Amino acid sequence: MSHSTASVITLNINGEKHTLPVDHRTTLLDALRERLDLTGTKKGCDQGQCGACTVLLDGRRAVSCLQLAVAAEGREVTTIEGIADGDQLHPVQQAFLDLDGYQCGYCTPGQVCSAIAMIEEHAAGWPSAVTADVRPQAEAAPLTAEEIRERMSGNLCRCGAYVSIVRAIAEAARPGVPRPPSPSGELGHLAGSEETEGVA
């Protein structure tokens, strides 16, 4: 008995539904770029190692080159095209622009998507590999440059703009910077009470 190798799926991307037939082996990255013309998400290594293709799935960051399109059905997909609110840039986008958090720009969409989710993760109290005290009752670690570097280590910048990327993320995470709602609401809004210390 033969089995079909293709399905018609509906993807919810940036708040809009797209119905399309896909081969079961099609990655979310290829569906976005080749089928839906959402080319802001970049193809870098195609092996999940560089982070250029990072998108948000239900508000959490994911490398779309390792995510099958059929597995994204029924989930909220947010790409770089859906980050801004009309002409109003997201605070992370604005900080990257203001503080030169990019050079060639190829990795920037993935960096921005990853940074948005990373700031939410930190605000929700998730520790990183460099968080000194990971006990549940411990206070949230300050979002230092070391914390940002570790939490963003899955996103590579071939131009080496890391110093400016760290500064931009620290600026966007600074208390008092307005925060739009999380794309899925899963991690909730940033509390706005975290300290940003020690950023060079």
Extended beta strands in the chain, E state: 6-13, 16-23, 54-57, 60-63, 76-78
The pLDDT assigned to 178 comes to 65
* Each residue's pLDDT tens digit, 151-199: 999 999 999 999 999 999 999 999 776 666 655 544 443 333 333 344 4
Spatial separation of the C-alpha atoms in residues 32 and 53, rounded to whole Å:
10
| Percentage of the chain lying above the pLDDT 70 cut | 86
Residues 158 and 106: beta-carbon distance below 8 Å:
yes
Q: Domain coordinates of the chain in residue numbers?
A: 6-82, 91-173
Query: What residue spans of 44-144 are helical by DSSP H?
Result: 91-98, 108-123
CATH of domain 6-82: 3.10.20.30
CATH topology of domain 91-173: DNA polymerase; domain 1 (1.10.150)
pLDDT tens digits, 125-154 = 999 999 999 988 888 889 999 999 999 999
